[in-house]
Structure 1
Amino acid sequence: MRRLGIFVFYDKSGIVDGYVEYIITQLNKVLDDLIIVVNGDINEAGECILKNYSTQFYKRDNTGLDAGAYADVIVNLLGEEKLSQYDELVLCNDTFYGPFVSFEEIFTSMKNEKYDFWGIDGIKRNFLSYIVMYFCVFRGKLLKNGDLFNYFKSNVLFKVNEMADAFALLQVGLYYTLTQKGYKPGLYTYSNGYQSKRNPDICVLEYNLPIWKKKFFLKDNYTDEICDKLVAHLESKKLYDTSLMKQNVKRVYGVEIGSEKKKFIGTDNVNQPEIKYSVPQITYDDINHFVSNHRQIYIYGAGSFARATAFVFLDKIEDFYGFIVSDEKNSKDRDIWGYPVIQASQVPPNSSIIVALNYEHSVEVLSWLGKNEHFFYFWDLK
């Protein structure tokens, strides 16, 4: 059994911190081959560090973010024939601290599970489910028959320009496409919908998530209480050398863990409520029924929900006219995947509209758009 890993590194300053070395060290214990991809710049010292862990080292522009890097390597560097020579493919990036359980233990626990692809964590919805793509494994026939290769070539390479594209095409789109083909997905852990970037304490302590997402340390996500609780847990159980994390957190986010200087300049940390991912109150069949009975459809929104909805249903919508946004700034001289983005004021009368927004923004749209048979909302709005 041969297992290939693709590890994507990005740092705006091009610095390789110790937490990255730890991830790669853990990865190498379960891989036969590793390709390290640098998105954007890297300093000389960092390049020397990464080259210690693999002779397959690839630098590229940060085009397409992590999704673009995965696709670039799979399609252009490997090619379909070479990819088919492996039994498993591991995609991993540097957006987390950990793992708090060794990858060896994780792979051992997943060895006998009959999954065609699996990840460390995922989001379960009636609609728009996905595996979180900081870590995902693809197996067997997915690599042999060209299905995975062709998806990245046709739907990811050159098509991801921003995070909403990556969500729609790499996460939701890939999951949807593979499951529609009959491939079975799986998860090592499931955090019951809690956001690891907002409530890492719940994810790790209650649901055994073996990583800590770096985005927790962004100003809008961070709280002292959660940070202190989770650091104390990792240190007391000796699950992770937290000095690796502290080094990166201080340099990148300006937060000094375990000191009196934890606050962000100009902000006050407040208690973080428990936050779960949004789960729209509709199903695939609900939208399918709508698109089957309407023509000349627009999707209201240009973000993650809207693009993911468009990807899943484009081949079912008889006449897709484009995306709607509320203001001129977001629509001017813009398109998404070749489809126009227009202002709400420009929508022709009697158009059919799927409002693919979060709950709060959907309420705003409802206040002036109203309800009728031509409008489909993701939420049960009163």
Structure 2
Amino acid sequence: MILKKTAKRIGVFAYFDADGVVDDYVPVLVASVAEHCDYLLCMVNGKLNQEDDAKLRAVADEVCYRPNEGLDITAYKEGYFRLRDAELLNEADELLFFNQTVFGPVYPLQTMFAEMAGRNLDFWGLTRHKGLNADLTGTIWDKVEYGYIPPHIQSYFFAVRGSLLHDAKFDEYWNTLPVLHNYVEAVSLHEMRFTKYFEDLGFQGAPYLDCTEWESYMDYPLMGMPIEMLTQKHTPFVKRKSFFSARTEYLSVPQGAAGGDLLQYLADQTNYDIGLILQNLTRTVPASVYTMALTPCAQPANRLAEGSTAAILWLDSPAMVSAAIKAAQSLPAGSAVFCIATDAKLAQKLQEALPDASIQVTSQPALAYAAEQILPQLEGYEYLLYLPLTMPEISDELLNRTLAETTAAALGDVPADIAMLSRLAGVGMLCPLPDTLGDHFLTQVPLAELPQLASLLRQTPLKKLPLGKTLLRMPQSAFFCRTELLEGFADLPWAEIEKANGTDFILPLFAQSKEALCGFALPWQTAVRELWNAKEQLSRLAAVAGTPEHHKLDLIEFRMQGIVDFYNERRYSMTLDQAYTMPLGFKDKLFIILRILLKPQTFAKLYRLLHHGQDIPPDHRDENLP
């Protein structure tokens, strides 16, 4: 069916937000699509407050609320039924379904709608997944009725023409769609089924963006090759999850750099406001998650960048005085230097080396002192450099000395800092790359290991942030930023933060609260060193955890997860003495108590209810480890 210029298009927009908020990118998205629809219905899963409800009503013809059940697919279904029952579809030539999982438009939608209107189709979408011809038995996709993943048009943006819309088989499809409980069921029972189901009935579908030439090495080009999709295919939308998905989720993505490169490209080469992305990203995604996905990093380089800067240098050892002098000498004209020394002798040495600097002696924690005593003096300065140059008391702790020297090398050249901050899209604060050879092997620390800090954060303005399961650790807490970003920084409860050992974790969270990213600076020498360090660490882990049959990274991870699952299963086969002495969580203890109190059949029924139909794990006490 080819659409005429007078064709009538109806739209269904499915929306959900866990906080019931409508960020600014949503009205932009909906309004751009509504321009090409004669009527647009917003189906909201859950609730919105009055202000956010008004944002949707300003760009849509109707807003309807439903329980947050069945994901976007069920919202599509109920939206279709609502329009059908109201007879709004009687004269419709096309019904369009889309959701909030994309940002855009990057390009005007007129081109897409005009091209697709001239193609003889019964249904179409933005993109098609190439499918997977593999046995799905025993996988999470074993509910796909075809036994394999067929090529399919993806459901975040698709349309059906009147030739299918007004066919009884389309109505029957939605009436017989099973109840959907989770994402896997939504994809298995609808998205992977819809295209083949109707093509087998003789209907014709196609994607707007043809990516077949990339399918031999790319499953999902919109995620794996988003810049190529923009430059070569002119995709009007980019996926929201591009900016926070795990770097290894799409294995064909070179170096896992697609998300960060995409954000930079949008900022540098398009008119799309990345502030819309940052507003949503920093509100809904933990900083530890999107930072690992984007890894906004820059190489310090000599640039003729100017800007009045206040530098706060913290030293506890004469060994780093030369680094302090170098940093101070890099400051542009009109700047100021504040030095925090831990003793009077070091203060005198600094005053001799930097006669124009303000030297202060304190035994207080440096960042807390700087925030409370020096920040109020910085009005009129455009930038702030906070550079801790601290050394361990024992000179043999070379790892910590390396960390101090890396900090100086990363941020010690202020013109380079200004240039990096200016060219990194979305970044409001620069830090040195977290060192993987310090006291902590990982730069992401589980929130469960920081109970005091977690409790404290819930008492500050930062409590509104999604903390996630882990927090980013920034050794030394060094940073460079525009002073305007630091509003409210001095008001944080620094004494309590220090007691909770939370100083290293505050910077990414504070930047997030300002809808900004925390970026990283690193000299190329540091980058190369850390690359080889990481390879060495992975080799050593593989030597311990791998086997001849499980020597690749993904197989080692699979094997180790199997061991973890094995032990988790054993928790339900413990004796009372074992349960009493084991450090179990409340949920585990409650299950043990219920298993004692309830009849076996009743407990088994409860277990299946809480574990999506899975049976109680068998008793493995006599089995060998995998």
TM interval, shorter chain, is 0.5 to 0.7
Q: Which residue of 2 aligns with 1:358?
A: none
**204 and 336 in structure 1: CA distance in 2 versus 1, 3 angstrom threshold:** farther
Quote the Cα distance in structure 1 between the aligned partners of 2:12 and 2:279.
25
Q: CA deviation at 1:258?
A: 2.6
Tell me which moved more, 132-141 or 256-265: 256-265
TM-score by length of 1: 0.65
Deviation at 1:119, TM superposition (A): 0.5
Residue aligned with 1:70, SS: helix
CA contact (8 A) 1:119 1:187 kept: yes
Find the counterpart in structure 2 of residue 303 from structure 1: none
Distance 1:169 1:267, change over 3 A: farther
Which amino acid in 2 is paired with 1:85?
A: E
- Whole-angstrom distance in 1 between the partners of 2:238 and 2:605: 33
Residue 76 to residue 210, structure 1, CA distance change in 2 (3 Å)? closer
CA 1:202/1:75 → structure 2, altered by over 3 Å: closer, same or farther?
A: same
Change in Cα spacing, 1:84 to 1:342, as seen in structure 2 (3 Å) is farther
Match of residue 281 from structure 1: none
Distance 1:149 1:101 in 2: 33
CA contact (8 A) 1:80 1:149 kept: no
| Distance change (3 Å), C-alpha of 1:197 and 1:84 | same
| Secondary structure of 2:175's aligned partner | helix
1:230 aligned partner: 262
Question: Deviation at 1:330?
Answer: 12
Q: Is the 8 A contact 2:22 2:55 kept in 1?
A: yes
Deviation at 1:206, TM superposition (A): 5.0
1:242 correspondence with 2:274: yes
State the TM-score, normalizing by the size of structure 2: 0.41
- Alignment map for 1:1-382 (pairs within 5 Å): 1-79=7-85, 82-125=88-131, 126=133, 127-156=149-178, 159-191=179-211, 192=215, 193-194=219-220, 196-197=222-223, 199-205=225-231, 207-218=233-244, 220-221=246-247, 225-253=257-285, 254=287, 255=290, 257-260=426-429, 265-266=471-472, 332-333=607-608
Amino acid at match of 2:608: D
- What CA RMSD, in Å, does the superposition of the two structures yield over aligned residues? 3.6
Deviation at 1:137, TM superposition (A): 0.8
Residues of 2 paired with 1:121 and 1:267: CA distance?
38
Deviations 1:218-249 (A, max 9, x none): 36249994344223322333341222112111
Compute the displacement of 1:117 (Å): 0.6
Task: Call closer, same or farther: CA 1:76–1:110 in 2, change over 3 Å.
Answer: closer
Give, in whole Å, the separation in 2 of the partners of 1:267 and 1:206. 39
CA distance in 1, matches of 2:231, 2:617: 45
TM-superposed deviation, 1:200: 3.2
**In the TM superposition, what is the alpha-carbon distance from 1:189 to its structure 2 partner?**
0.9
- Show CA shifts across 1:6-43 (max 9, x none): 01111111111111011111111110000011111212
Aligned partner letter, 2:202: G
What is the total number of aligned residue pairs between the two structures?
Answer: 287
Instruction: Tell me the secondary structure at the aligned position of residue 90 of structure 1.
Output: strand
Q: CA deviation at 1:134?
A: 0.8
Q: Quick one: which amino acid aligns to residue 333 of structure 1? A: R
* Matched-pair contact (CA < 8 Å) for 2:39–2:61: no
Do the aligned residues in 1 keep the contact of 2:127 with 2:207 (CA within 8 Å)?
yes
> Is this contact kept in 1: 2:223–2:242, CA < 8 A?
yes
- Please give the per-residue CA displacement for 1:153-198, whole angstroms capped at 9, x wherever unaligned: 1115xx1111111102221121121111111111111443235445
What whole-Å deviation, never above 9, does each CA across 1:105-150 have from its counterpart, x for those lacking one? 2101112111111111111235422111110010021111222222
Q: 1:219 to 1:88 in 2, by over 3 A?
A: closer
Cα distance change, pair 341–32 in 1 and its aligned pair in 2 (3 A): same
Q: Deviations over 1:72-123 (max 9, x none)?
A: 1212453395434311000010011112122222101112111111111111
CA distance in structure 1 between the partners assigned to 2:430 and 2:51 by the alignment: 29
> Secondary structure in 1 aligned to 2:33?
helix
Any conservation in 2 of the 1:8–1:94 contact (CA below 8 Å)?
yes
Task: Indicate the percent of aligned positions where both proteins have the same amino acid.
Answer: 24
Please identify, of 35-44 and 239-248, the stretch whose mean Cα deviation from structure 2 is larger. Answer: 239-248
Larger Rg: 1 or 2? 2
SS in 1 for 2:63: strand
Equivalent position SS for 2:241: helix
Letter in 1 for 2:165: L
Letter of the structure 1 residue corresponding to residue 429 of structure 2: E
Structure 2 vs 1, CA of residues 119 and 266 (structure 1 numbering), >3 Å: closer, same or farther? same
Unaligned 5+ runs, structure 1: 272-328, 346-367, 369-382
The answer to whether the Cα contact below 8 Å between 1:84 and 1:143 also exists between their aligned partners in 2 is: no
Aligned pair in 2 of structure 1 residues 82, 95: CA closer, same or farther (>3 Å)?
A: same
Return the structure number with greater helix share: 2
CA 1:15–1:203 in 2, change beyond 3 Å: closer, same or farther?
same
In structure 2, distance between residues paired with 1:28 and 1:186: 22
Distance 1:235 1:2, change over 3 A: same
